C-alpha cells in the first residue's frame, strides 16, 4: 500500500545505493565498480560513508569521494 509506505531518508538512500554498487551482491564485476563518486548532498554522503565502512572499503584508496559540506 503506497499510502502507508515510508520514504527512505536521504542518508538511508545513500547507504542502500552504496551497498548495491559496492556490496557482494552488486551486479557489477569488481573491476567495473567505480573508483570515484560525486555526491551533491552531504546527508547522502553520510549514508555512503556508513556503508563503505561496513564493507571495509577505504575512502581515498578503494574509492574517492567528491562532495561538499555544510
Mean pLDDT by 10 residues, the chain (70 residues): 69 94 81 89 95 95 88
What is the per-residue pLDDT for 3?
A: 54
What is the per-residue pLDDT for 69?
A: 72
Cβ–Cβ < 8 Å for 22, 55: yes
Single pTM value for the model: 0.82
Amino acid at each position: 500500500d503506497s499510502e502507508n509506505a515510508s520514504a527512505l531518508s536521504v542518508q538511508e538512500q545513500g547507504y542502500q545505493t552504496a551497498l548495491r554498487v559496492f556490496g557482494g551482491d552488486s551486479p557489477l564485476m569488481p573491476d567495473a565498480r567505480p573508483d570515484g563518486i560525486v555526491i551533491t548532498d552531504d546527508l547522502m554522503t553520510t549514508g555512503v560513508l556508513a556503508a563503505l565502512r561496513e564493507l571495509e572499503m577505504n575512502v581515498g584508496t578503494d574509492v574517492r569521494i567528491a562532495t561538499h559540506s555544510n
